[in-house]
Structure 1
């Protein structure tokens, strides 16, 4: 028995078990006290309300929801809205951040000045102020009858940006996305004779799949493309990007690009100059050096910080509630006011963001594991 208590391994295990037991008891006590207080106040609990109709519409959604929709359908629509603006922000902010990083490390003084000025301005202005700024600009565009037109195909007004869109249903879009993922996995094992042939083949296959869905996934009397047309005081047809969505997307993209640009710049300058000089000695152009040497090596160094920034930007979509964008946070807030199911809806809110952000972190960690150099821990 004495040897057991003097064992360092036993002591460590005992401390860990004791810590887990204390945490479990604290959580259990919190649940018991919370349920008792809720019962004393006569507050209904449970998730049965999710099957009830909401009675209020959603101004923007990727799915068909209305006043007769249930809380489950409305909450799912809000989650899709958050994921839409979040993932589009990640894509646009990454592309813009890469351009800013290349400008900041450029030998051209003007490009370096522009990149530095952008980063210092947009990084030091709160993101909610930037979103308000773009929302004020977009809502001060002229009305639909005086809307700015681009070749009578796209229109800018205070109702938003109206664009032509293919006549595809939500199911067709889902099939297209799943097909693109399948094409990516299929070409992963394909080894063409010529290097660099995978990307053109992937693009060609995706375009072919899109064409097939466009020709077969619509009714006979429906045109291939839906073009917005002015009827009365509003536009019909096409796809409409509301000012709330556009302002949130622009604000988050410009704000996130300033941070991502600095992360990418740090990764780029961490690349050994000897490797860049070797590429130059082999006769590679500056574009080829960036494409094949600098960016791939820098990507490994900046991936952990980039993962944190991606997760932060996804959580940053919650500022959309300030301008009326119906994201997941706004939908949950409205649902709390309408149903009174505070604890359940807050649990769903936290659970939704945990799933989305954990998925981003898992994907980035998986990518980091696949790309790390062999022999590195």
Structure 2
């Protein structure tokens, strides 16, 4: 038998094995679904997704869009999905920034910076996240009331009612449009081949800030400023953006915990950069800052990016702990919906599909960035 015949035979064998595997998976799924439907029928339990149109009849603490107890399960689940995505993205950005700073300090030769970074990592990495979350929530709910709120320049306030921040004085739809434009701008800038990664990042941040300011100025009310500043009015605050205690506790706990792991990833990546490259930079008269930006970090990013992506996925999954303090993330919404409607299988399926979609998208973003950072020929 010649080589071509052997190759064709191998292809047919591989195709047959793949078809057999697919058929086995389909069969297992069909048996599982059929068995579940039979058991539900025996227990007189309704199945299907018709319940999504029914009103929930219960309220929750946080939402990015208008909500009501008359909302259907579909809209309520959408709000939970948006809350999870919103919280996860904030924690990913803050954890990455703080992790890079701590990891750089951990790699520094100055004893003070190195010691502080080491203590930070060992403290927050070795305490369970649920314990840290409950601790920060307990601290925040015992903050002073609005009249004794901590103030930063009379523009930012922290009390037991939440964190009050300045906000863009535009409609929510305009904010979503700005966010979409920033994402699109990032896709365009990071596809440029003439700039290094750090240069692309700096350009994207500067362009995003300028775009936000220009669009907010265009759509702000004629008789009002671009920014809405919170102001104390009796026992509450008016204007600005109010961030609930539950959301603040989630952001603080996940950011501190996630940044400790990311810091070790960054330290490991910086440690992998050959010392000869930094010594060559010193020989050329480059400053420590220039060596870090133009030699160490660009080289380390190729090592950092794969484990960094794993940490981003972990941070997104960590948002499910919000159920412990009553934050209305997707897991909390699904848990409450199961209790109210009894549609356990359908809701758990939607929950799994949602996290699969989010984390798969994150993985694809990391793969894209990793491919852009890879050396030619590798």
> TM-score, normalised to structure 1's length?
0.91
Change (3 A) 1:287 1:243: same
In structure 1, C-alpha distance between the alignment counterparts of 2:192 and 2:369, rounded to whole Å: 20
Structure 1 vs Structure 2 CA RMSD: 2.5
Q: Report if aligned partners of 2:323, 2:332 keep a CA contact under 8 Å in 1.
A: yes
Task: Tell me which residue corresponds to 1:269.
Answer: 271
Alignment of 1:188-227 (within 5 A): 202=204, 205-227=207-229
Change (3 A) 1:151 1:42: same
Task: Tell me which residue corresponds to 1:166.
Answer: 168
Task: Tell me which residue corresponds to 1:107.
Answer: 109
In structure 2, C-alpha distance between the alignment counterparts of 1:134 and 1:244, rounded to whole Å: 10
Deviations 1:32-80 (A, max 9, x none): 1111111121211221221222212221111111112221221111111
Q: Report if aligned partners of 2:269, 2:301 keep a CA contact under 8 Å in 1.
A: yes
Q: Report if aligned partners of 1:58, 1:326 keep a CA contact under 8 Å in 2.
A: yes
Alignment of 1:127-142 (within 5 A): 127-142=129-144
1:83 to 80, 85, 90: 85
> Displacement, 1:224?
3.0
2:323 to 321, 324, 341: 321
Alignment of 1:282-321 (within 5 A): 282-321=284-323
Change (3 A) 1:119 1:298: same
Q: Report if aligned partners of 2:61, 2:326 keep a CA contact under 8 Å in 1.
A: no
Unaligned runs of 5+ in 1: none
Change (3 A) 1:261 1:192: closer
Task: Tell me which residue corresponds to 2:361.
Answer: 359
> TM-score, normalised to structure 2's length?
0.90
Unaligned runs of 5+ in 2: none
> Displacement, 1:150?
2.7
Change (3 A) 1:255 1:219: same
- Give 3-state SS (helix, strand or coil) of 1:240's partner: strand
Task: Tell me which residue corresponds to 1:93.
Answer: 95
Count of residues in Structure 1 that have an aligned counterpart in Structure 2: 371
In structure 2, C-alpha distance between the alignment counterparts of 1:8 and 1:187, rounded to whole Å: 44
In structure 1, C-alpha distance between the alignment counterparts of 2:229 and 2:190, rounded to whole Å: 37
Task: Tell me which residue corresponds to 1:246.
Answer: 248
In structure 2, C-alpha distance between the alignment counterparts of 1:25 and 1:190, rounded to whole Å: 47
In structure 2, C-alpha distance between the alignment counterparts of 1:227 and 1:321, rounded to whole Å: 31
Instruction: Report the more deviating stretch, 151-160 or 270-279.
Output: 151-160
> Displacement, 1:152?
2.7
Q: Report if aligned partners of 2:338, 2:344 keep a CA contact under 8 Å in 1.
A: yes
> Displacement, 1:188?
6.0
Change (3 A) 1:223 1:109: closer
Deviations 1:228-264 (A, max 9, x none): 2333432222111111111111111111111111111
Change (3 A) 1:55 1:261: same
